[in-house]
Amino acid sequence: MNRLISVVLPSVLFCLTLSFNPAQAQTPRKVKLTMPVVALTMSPVYIAQSKGFFAEEGLDVEMTSTGGGGPDIRALIAGEADFTFTTGDNVILAYQEGKPLLMVMSALHRVFINWAIHKEAAKAKGISENTPLGEKLKALKGLTVGVTNPAALTAHLAAFVIRKAGYVPQEDVKIIPVGAGPTWLAALENRKVDLALTAPPVPETAISRGHAIMFINNAKGEDPSISEFLMENLVARPETTKKDPDLVRRMVRALVKANKWALSSTPEQITEALKPFLGKTDPAILLAGVRSLLSTLSPDGRTSERSVQVTQDILEVAGLLKKRVAYSEIVSNEFLPK
């Protein structure tokens, strides 16, 4: 009998321990997260989901893509989402309209938006991928540029580049919204627009299909005026950071884990983790995009003052900034892992 008890009792106690383990018994916290597009720029969120980092933090994250910047952040402001994962330019613009938001983690800290131009438009303007940037910008006059959404980073960057070239948006160079993904590709490939910009691997897909060539490759730093930038950030309402700081910390930890995992993995491993979300992309294009992405990932999630300054410089040149915003008004690094 004693021998039987000595064998059975430890097993029973082990099972009871599992049964009453609070971490296992706890129901995952449901979280609504908006994102502007389905693209490589969303990789930290995709990795956090596919590698189980959200689950490790006890989170069940519902991801919604809004087809371009603007609607994603409006949903957050309206309280229809708990967080948004988006570009910092719209956080700055929301603040100047009296709708303060906080960037609590920076996931991508360099611009990762590329331009592609239709081959016929490039031929007509006498430019190639190797044409110096200044000459490319002068060739913009009379062309139509496609952006994902009127309130998206693509629209803000388009206005910035057009003004930098010495032209007036909508007078010298037209800007029209064409949506994201398939609609963006259709607009450029069918030449509804002469050139367009968005996050990789979409421009690269148009190029691989033989319809376009690269116009500006920001992923490779072709435009030196844009160094650090508020490319992709986890954004929350100030009341959420005050009332539910633990939730904010858990979201931040999951995304920092995702970036650290990516920076310690091979491009092939990252590509595999992204397939559930970007599986329709040609594997070779996706792998090339991942290799470009790695240099933009923040290893610690910290939002720098330089990135805030450069983002405001761009908005200022684009004619969208009314007044510069103080770093501390829109950034909080206090939720980052110690």
Dihedral sign (CA 177, 110, 222, 323): positive
Which pLDDT score is estimated for 9?
47
Q: What is the pTM of this model?
A: 0.84
What is the tens place of the pLDDT at every residue in 68-125? 888 899 999 999 999 999 999 999 999 999 999 999 999 999 999 999 999 999 999 9
Interval 314-338 mean pLDDT? 95
What is the tens place of the pLDDT at every residue in 129-172? 999 999 999 999 999 999 999 988 999 999 999 999 999 999 99
pLDDT greater than 50 at residue 245: yes
Residue with tokens 């930290």: 44
By the 10 Å C-beta count (0-12 exposed, 13-18 middle, 19+ buried), 48 is classed as: buried
Dihedral, CA of residue 216, residue 220, residue 225 and residue 227, to nearest 10:
140
pLDDT greater than 50 at residue 1: no
Residue 209 CA to residue 201 CA, distance in Å, equals: 12
pLDDT greater than 90 at residue 19: no
Which pLDDT score is estimated for 261?
98
Domain extents in the chain: 28-107+229-330, 114-220
Give the confidence band of 10 by pLDDT, cuts at 50, 70, 90: low
**CB under 8 Å to 281, separation ≥6 — which residues?**
201, 205, 289
Which pLDDT score is estimated for 280?
87
The 3-class secondary structure across 137-148, one letter per residue, is HHCCCCCEEEEC
What is the tens place of the pLDDT at every residue in 163-214? 999 999 999 999 999 998 899 999 999 999 999 999 998 999 999 999 999 9
Q: Categorise residue 303: left if φ over 0, alpha if ψ from -120 to 50, beta otherwise.
A: beta
pLDDT greater than 60 at residue 338: yes
Is 28-107+229-330 CATH 3.40.190.10? yes
pLDDT greater than 60 at residue 323: yes
Residue with tokens 């309130």: 151
Backbone angles phi, psi at 103, to 5 degrees: -85, 115
Residue 91 CA to residue 86 CA, distance in Å, equals: 9
Which pLDDT score is estimated for 68?
80
Q: Which CATH architecture has domain 114-220?
A: 3-Layer(aba) Sandwich (3.40)
pLDDT greater than 50 at residue 4: no
Which pLDDT score is estimated for 224?
86
What is the tens place of the pLDDT at every residue in 74-86? 999 999 999 999 9
By the 10 Å C-beta count (0-12 exposed, 13-18 middle, 19+ buried), 58 is classed as: middle
Helix ranges, the chain (H)? 2-19, 22-25, 43-50, 53-56, 71-77, 89-96, 119-125, 133-138, 153-164, 182-189, 202-208, 238-243, 245-263, 267-278, 283-293, 305-317, 327-330
Residues 179, 186 contacting (CB under 8 angstroms): no
Which pLDDT score is estimated for 24?
43
Nearest Cα neighbor of 68 from 202, 190, 173 is 202
